[in-house]
């Protein structure tokens, strides 16, 4: 006889078995992904490769431990949402304005536009209608942010947990609206991220959502591996020319364009070769295209294979920079970058290589005698900012002998001190040997990340080597030994005022 109690028992049994299946599937994914990621890290490979390989291993192609990929696909969708949410958080109005010719930024924007327009019915009407829906979604996001979220966040700012849940609610509200408007949820997540990027609490939001993003991104990349069906002859035929184009043609063309814009051969090649791989965004687009039936399984398999091989080969491709550099240095350009054309007035007694981190503090200390200081940096934005503040500076790469020769010719007579805050050992050794050779009595201060590197620089003739972590620890110990609690309170107040002054100096 039918009864509610028997039905409830059956439903409970089914629910328990489904829950157990879900739990086992997630546990299997995490355990296998963790093991392969650990092995990948030992071989200095990208963790993304490990996740994809884990998916291939436990998926239908190999062991078949998880045959039903529906669950993983659903978790992967949430993973995509978090990936694009965090990507949006890293952008703000100022960054979009200042970095609109940036290569990676252009790639992200193009990828998001591609996500919005992926469909079998790709017509002018469809594209226009899609952009109208995107505009509407952006307006709604702005209204919700200004009308509700901003006020709620201000009140919730004292509780990081409350701020976190409000931010996640905003994310999923935009995801829900995307579904209503029949737009990819990835687009809604990206718009949510960009909207919150202009919030004063963006750093706290980004830090809190990172763990969730990392968890669901594992699910996404593992699902990519599980969707990998086979290595066929047709996919290999597509793979070879695609690999040549992505790894060599694209990277070298990018490097050439940067060189023609006036960047140094080293900077141009390092930037170009670092892009010699398929990005995570390409996989996101590939999964959505496969789901919508826009590409074949062979094409998707080729994309996955290309991602694995190109990412794995990037560390070795980067070593080709020195091979190509000689030929790139021969390329003559009619117009150099504006930052290089401007001449530095007056003879300098101190040359500082690198404005980042400790360099900014050193510049502040030299503010009263900044006419004696020359800063060398290869970040155009840093050069632009320093010029506004009246600091003598020049755009250039410390490893460029032509630049060092130019500096020596113009300032050798008055030169007294060389300071480098650059992290690379090779750059510091070059600077040390070059200036000690032309002027043995010049005082050279360098920076090292490791103690072993510092000892190597001392052995090579450095007058002093700064190790940021060691210096900080040493200062703390000395203060604890000599200062009272009252002294510490005064020192803290003085330090806060100094940091605020320093922040104001570099923001204004």
Residue 93 confidence (pLDDT): 52
Token pair 């040549």 is found at 244
pLDDT digits (tens, 9 = 90+) for 116-125: 666 666 677 7
CA dihedral (298, 300, 301, 306) positive or negative: positive
Nearest CA-CA partner of 325 in 377, 273, 276, 275? 273
Q: For residues 461 and 410, what is the distance between their CA atoms, to the nearest angstrom?
A: 24
Q: For residues 304 and 295, what is the distance between their CA atoms, to the nearest angstrom?
A: 13
Residue 177 confidence (pLDDT): 92
Nearest CA-CA partner of 282 in 230, 221, 233, 234? 221
Q: For residues 212 and 205, what is the distance between their CA atoms, to the nearest angstrom?
A: 12
Q: For residues 465 and 467, what is the distance between their CA atoms, to the nearest angstrom?
A: 7
The ranges assigned to domains in the chain are 11-318, 339-466
DSSP label at residue 417: E
Q: Which CATH architecture has domain 339-466?
A: 3-Layer(aba) Sandwich (3.40)
CATH of domain 11-318: 1.20.1530.20
**Which residues of the chain have a pLDDT value below 50?**
1-2, 11, 97-100, 335, 337-341
Buried b (16+ CB within 10 A) or exposed e, 278-292: bbbbbbbbbbbbbee
Rounded-to-10 torsion of CA 34, 35, 37, 41:
130
Residue 74 confidence (pLDDT): 75
Residue 152 confidence (pLDDT): 87
Residue 36 confidence (pLDDT): 93
**Do the domains 339-466 and 11-318 match in fold?**
no
Residue 100 confidence (pLDDT): 42
Continuous H helices in 198-264: 202-227, 233-244, 250-260
Residue 176 confidence (pLDDT): 92
CA dihedral (250, 255, 259, 265) positive or negative: negative
Tell the burial category of 269 from Cβ atoms under 10 Å away from its Cβ (0-12, 13-18, 19+).
buried
Q: For residues 407 and 409, what is the distance between their CA atoms, to the nearest angstrom?
A: 6
Residue 118 confidence (pLDDT): 64
Q: Where are the beta strands (DSSP E) in 410-497?
A: 417-420, 443-447, 464-466
Q: What is the pTM of this model?
A: 0.64
């Amino acid at each position: 006889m039918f009864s509610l109690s028997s039905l409830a028992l059956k439903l409970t049994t089914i629910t328990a078995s489904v829950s157990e299946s879900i739990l086992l599937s997630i546990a299997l994914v995490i355990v296998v992904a963790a093991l392969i990621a650990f092995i990948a890290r030992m071989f200095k490979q990208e963790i993304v490769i490990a996740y994809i390989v884990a998916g291939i291993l436990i998926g239908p192609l190999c062991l078949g431990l998880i045959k039903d990929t529906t669950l993983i696909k659903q978790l992967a969708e949430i993973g995509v949402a978090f990936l694009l949410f965090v990507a949006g958080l890293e952008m703000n109005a100022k960054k979009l304005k200042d970095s609109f010719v940036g290569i990676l930024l252009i790639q992200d924007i193009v990828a998001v536009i591609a996500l919005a327009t992926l469909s079998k019915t790709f017509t002018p009407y469809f594209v226009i209608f899609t952009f109208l829906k995107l505009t509407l979604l952006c307006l709604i996001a702005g209204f919700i942010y200004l009308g509700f979220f901003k006020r709620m966040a201000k009140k919730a700012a004292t509780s990081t947990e409350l701020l976190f849940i409000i931010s996640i609610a905003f994310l999923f509200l935009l995801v829900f609206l995307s579904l209503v408007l029949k737009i990819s949820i990835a687009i809604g997540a990206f718009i949510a991220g960009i909207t919150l990027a202009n919030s004063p609490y963006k750093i706290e939001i980004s830090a809190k959502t990172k763990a969730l993003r990392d968890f669901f991104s594992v699910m996404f990349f593992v699902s990519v591996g599980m969707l990998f069906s086979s290595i066929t002859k047709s996919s290999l035929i597509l793979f070879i020319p695609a690999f040549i184009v992505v790894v060599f043609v694209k990277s070298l063309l990018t490097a050439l364009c940067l060189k023609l814009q006036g960047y140094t051969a080293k900077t141009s090649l390092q930037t170009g070769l670092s892009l010699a791989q398929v990005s995570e965004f390409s996989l996101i687009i590939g999964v959505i295209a496969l789901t919508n039936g826009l590409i074949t399984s062979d094409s998707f398999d080729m994309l996955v294979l290309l991602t694995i091989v190109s990412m794995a080969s990037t560390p070795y491709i980067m070593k080709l920079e020195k091979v190509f550099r000689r030929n790139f240095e021969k390329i003559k350009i009619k117009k150099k970058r504006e930052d290089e054309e401007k001449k530095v007035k007056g003879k300098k007694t101190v040359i500082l290589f690198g404005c980042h981190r400790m360099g900014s503090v050193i510049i502040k200390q030299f503010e009263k005698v900044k006419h004696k200081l020359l800063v060398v940096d290869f970040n155009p934005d840093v050069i632009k900012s320093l010029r506004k503040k009246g600091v003598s500076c020049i755009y250039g790469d410390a490893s460029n002998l032509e630049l060092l020769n130019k500096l020596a010719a113009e300032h050798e007579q008055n030169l007294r001190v060389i300071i480098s805050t650059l992290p690379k050992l090779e750059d510091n050794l070059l600077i040390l040997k070059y200036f000690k050779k032309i002027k043995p009595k010049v005082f050279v201060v360098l920076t090292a990340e490791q103690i072993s590197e510092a000892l190597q620089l001392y052995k090579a003739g450095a007058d002093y080597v700064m190790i940021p972590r060691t210096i900080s620890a040493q200062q703390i110990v000395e203060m604890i030994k000599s200062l009272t609690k009252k002294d510490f309170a005064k020192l803290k107040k003085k330090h806060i005022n100094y940091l605020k002054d320093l922040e104001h100096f570099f923001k204004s």
